[in-house]
Amino acid sequence: MLVIPCPHCGPRNHDEFSYAGDAALRRPAPDAPLAEWNAYVYSRDNPRGGHRELWRHAFGCGAFLIVERDTRTHEVRAASFAATEESRP
């Protein structure tokens, strides 16, 4: 079972969360070339190992979290509020 440690609510089963994608992915500028938008929408890496993901605690506090997870073992190493991330837009 995948357990995500919500900084607000404590450890919760992943069923309370909704996956929102790769936390490192950045949206192109509105006037970016079509090829950039095409890559943003359709091209995704499928990493093996450590990965930073964006999750929303949909059936809890509603917060967006950055979850550091190993995609091989599903071990969650850390979780923090996305709004506190310096690199977030």
Establish if 3 belongs to a structural domain.
yes
**What pLDDT, on a 0 to 100 scale, did the predictor assign at position 56?**
97
Q: Which domain holds residue 56?
A: 1-24+49-89
Q: In 3D, which of 4, 78, 85 has the Cα closest to residue 57?
A: 4
Q: What is the mean pLDDT of each run of 10 residues along the chain (89 residues)?
A: 94 96 91 96 88 96 96 94 62
Establish if 19 belongs to a structural domain.
yes
Total tally of structural domains belonging to the chain: 1
88: left (phi over 0), alpha (psi -120 to 50) or beta: beta
Establish if 43 belongs to a structural domain.
no
Report strand pairing: 76-81 vs 64-70: antiparallel
**What pLDDT, on a 0 to 100 scale, did the predictor assign at position 84?**
61
d(CA 68, CA 79): 6
Establish if 35 belongs to a structural domain.
no
Helix (H) or strand (E) holding 41: helix 34-42
Establish if 63 belongs to a structural domain.
yes
